[in-house]
Structure 1
Amino acid sequence: MVSIAVGIAVSTAALSTLVGCGSGDSTVSKTPEAAAPPPAVTTPSIAPTVGPPPPAPGPADPCAVNLAAPEIAKAVSELPRDPRSNQAWSPEPVAGNYNECAQLSAVIVRANTNAENPNTRAVMFHLGKFIPTGVPDTYGFNGLDPAGTTGDTVALRYSGEVDGLASIVRFRWNGNGVELIGNTG
């Protein structure tokens, strides 16, 4: 029985040697290969959530009030000089509602003088075009009354500096020209 046990032990040892050392084994095959660097871990960049870019600004609305319209400066340059100071008129409006779509719109300008209280006047426009003649006297007004101003009517306001009272005079486009239609005070 001892000889069987010794035989099994010798056979097991021989088998282990055969299995452990195969024909393909060599020193090179047992040397670990240089490991490739691990793939870079990238974290996705998170862009801020922003909607689409804003649309490019379109053309200006011709029916919006535009007190910087070149038609205003052109019209003011055609006015006769201020009768009180003999000065030209400043092309920068003090007030107004000029727009190309209104039957009647107006701007208030002042004499181009350093006087303490320069003279003022209203300049009227029909569909954005200066009305040079046929307009009632518009000197002395210093603002527009928004409540009385519509697409075909301009309500000009005069506020007295001494008494502080306001007076409103309304002008309307009648289809052919400007007419005075009301005076409140």
Structure 2
Amino acid sequence: MPRVKEFDPDKALDQAMQVFWRHGYEGTTVSHLMAATGLLKGSLYGAFGSKEKLFLKALSKYGEDFRKKGFQKQDPLDYLQQFFQRLVDEGGHTKGERGCLIMNSCVEFGRQDHIRAKLSGRLFQEVEKNLQSAVVAAIAAKQMPEDTDVDALVCRLVGGAFALREMGKFKRDRAYLSHIANGVLDEIGLKII
């Protein structure tokens, strides 16, 4: 009886996530996934069910990774500065060429009505809620005026984050990316160096 080759499902999921992140859902082929994971088509489908199910697991894992970096109980302004600093740093490096898997997926699927689009939309809402939590905490800590329009500020922060991720895909100019971040952060008295 032939020996079954064992593999690490978490490692294969990470490898698949990298492929989806680079090529998008539609641009990713089973051949890409097989090459990245080292699995044959039957093993890939046996382990993950389908390309769509694998994508959903990969996107969910990306969401879990994002949550780990989310706002907790730290100083809210420090968190916002570090959040944007990380986006500038990653955008100014080859890491930035992929952008953000959540935002990439939202752009790819738009307003389509399928599970991939719905999961992307839910994760995007988590990004918004994460930034909203930091803003609300900053107001509670009297680091921002009590009359701050939270929704409007969160929209600008999300827009700035999106711009940094998208611009970082093709413009690896750290100074340029810092100008974008500082334009968004100026109204709350923060600055990226």
TM-score interval w.r.t. the shorter chain? under 0.3
TM norm structure 2: 0.24
Bigger proportion of residues as strand: 1
TM norm structure 1: 0.25
Bigger proportion of residues as helix: 2
Larger Cα Rg: Structure 1 or Structure 2?
Answer: 1
